[in-house]
Structure 1
C-alpha cells in the first residue's frame, strides 16, 4: 500500500484528489496539509511513502518544503502536482529533491501512474512537460551549430528494434502530439481503456521508463518525426 499525503492550499483540490485516489486499491491518502510547514509537522507523526506537493503555497512554498522534507524525511518521495509548467520551476523542484513532476491538467491515469512510479523510487515527468523539455533541448542543440546535420535524419517510419502494430503507431504519434489517453480515444474512436492498453504495450515493447524517454526512443528510431 502506498501511503500518500496531499499538500495543497486549496481544500477543494485536496478533496477531489482524495476522492479519486480512494478508488485505487494500492493507494491510501493518510493525511492532508494546507502549506509546507503544516506538512513537515504532520510527517513528524504520520508515516508516509509519498507527498503529492503543490509549488505555490503560503507559509512555506514547494521549493523550501521539498528541501526541508528531503533533509528531515529522506525516505519520503516527493511528487509535484502543480499548474506551473515553466522549465525553470521544474528544474528548481527537481534540484530541491522532487522525484516527479505532474501538471494539474493531467488525466487521473497519468497521475496515478506517476504516484506508483515515484513511490517505487523512479523519476517521472508528465507527458506535457517531458515533450516540452525534449523539444527545447533539440532546438538548442540544432541552434548551437547552424551547419550541423538535422537532429534526426532517419525517415518518418522504418522498422526498428521493436515492431509496433498500425494502431500502436497511431497511438504513439498522438502521444507525441501531447494528447491525453482520453483525447486519443476520442480521436481514434476507441475506448479510453483500449488506448491505455495500447500505451502500456508500447512502453513494454520499447522499455521506455517514462513518456519523454518513449518519445526520444521513437524519434531516434524513426518511428515519428
Structure 2
C-alpha cells in the first residue's frame, strides 16, 4: 500500500484527486494539506510514502517546502502535480529534491503510474513535458543576439500566452484578462509567470516592448 499526502490549496481539486485515486486498491490518501507548512507539520506524526504536491501554494510554496521536506523526511518522495509546464519550473523542482513532475491535465493513469514510479525510488517526468523538451532540443534554432537587458523573442510562447501577453500590453489586469478569456484569475497568473520565465522580461515595460517586437500591438 502506497500512502499519499495531497498538498494543494484548492479543496475541490484535492477532492477530485482523492476520488480518482480511490479506484486503486494499492493507493491510500492518508491526509490533505493546503500549503507546505501544513505538509511539514503533518509529516511529523503521519507516515507517508509520496507527497503529491502543487508548486503554487500560500504560506509555503513547493520551492520552499521540498528542500525542507527532503532534509527532514528523506524516505518520503515528492511528486509535483501542477499546471506550470515551463522547463525552468521543472528544473528548479528537481533541483530542490522532487522525484517526479506531472501536469494536472495528465490522464489519471499517468498520474497513478507516476506515484508508483517515485514510490519505488525512481524519477518520473510526464510525457507532455518530456516530449516538449525533446522537440525543443532537436529543433531549437540558433538564438538571435540581444542587447543587454533585452527580452528574448518569445518564439516558444504558446498561442494562449501570446494572447495574454497582448492583453497585458494593453494595460489589462489579471482579473480583467480572466474575464475576457473566460478563465480563472489563477490560470492567468500562471500564464503570466510562464511568459516572464520564457522571455526573461524584468517588468511590464519589457513585456510591452516584446509585444511590439512580435507585432501584437503597434
| Coarse TM-score class (shorter-chain normalised) | 0.5 to 0.7
Q: How does 1:35-54 map to 2 (within 5 A)?
A: 35-54=35-54
For residues 105 and 32 of structure 1, the distance between their equivalents in structure 2, rounded to whole angstroms, comes to: 20
Task: Tell me which residue corresponds to 2:119.
Answer: 119
For residues 39 and 139 of structure 1, the distance between their equivalents in structure 2, rounded to whole angstroms, comes to: 40
Superposed displacement of residue 143, structure 1:
4.2
Task: Tell me which residue corresponds to 2:172.
Answer: none
Task: Tell me which residue corresponds to 1:215.
Answer: none
TM-score by length of 1: 0.62
For residues 63 and 74 of structure 1, the distance between their equivalents in structure 2, rounded to whole angstroms, comes to: 16
Paired positions, count: 143
Q: How does 1:114-193 map to 2 (within 5 A)?
A: 114-140=114-140, 143=142
TM-score by length of 2: 0.64
For residues 49 and 114 of structure 2, the distance between their equivalents in structure 1, rounded to whole angstroms, comes to: 13
1:140-188 per-residue CA deviation (whole Å, 9 max, x = no partner) reads 4x749xxxxxxxxxxxxxxxxxxxxxxxxxxxxxxxxxxxxxxxxxxxx
Superposed displacement of residue 135, structure 1:
1.4
Superposed displacement of residue 136, structure 1:
1.7
Does 2:66 align with 1:66?
Answer: yes
Superposed displacement of residue 120, structure 1:
0.5
Superposed displacement of residue 128, structure 1:
0.6
For residues 13 and 125 of structure 1, the distance between their equivalents in structure 2, rounded to whole angstroms, comes to: 21
Query: What is the DSSP-based 3-state SS (H/G/I as helix, E as strand, rest coil) of the residue aligned with 1:24?
Result: coil
Listed as ranges, the gaps of 5+ residues in structure 2 are 144-218
Query: What is the DSSP-based 3-state SS (H/G/I as helix, E as strand, rest coil) of the residue aligned with 2:78?
Result: strand
For residues 43 and 132 of structure 1, the distance between their equivalents in structure 2, rounded to whole angstroms, comes to: 34
Superposed displacement of residue 133, structure 1:
1.1
Runs of 4+ displaced beyond 3 Å: none
For the aligned residues, what is the CA RMSD?
1.2
Q: How does 1:184-223 map to 2 (within 5 A)?
A: none
For residues 38 and 77 of structure 1, the distance between their equivalents in structure 2, rounded to whole angstroms, comes to: 16
Superposed displacement of residue 134, structure 1:
1.1
Task: Tell me which residue corresponds to 1:107.
Answer: 107
Superposed displacement of residue 139, structure 1:
2.9
For residues 17 and 83 of structure 1, the distance between their equivalents in structure 2, rounded to whole angstroms, comes to: 14
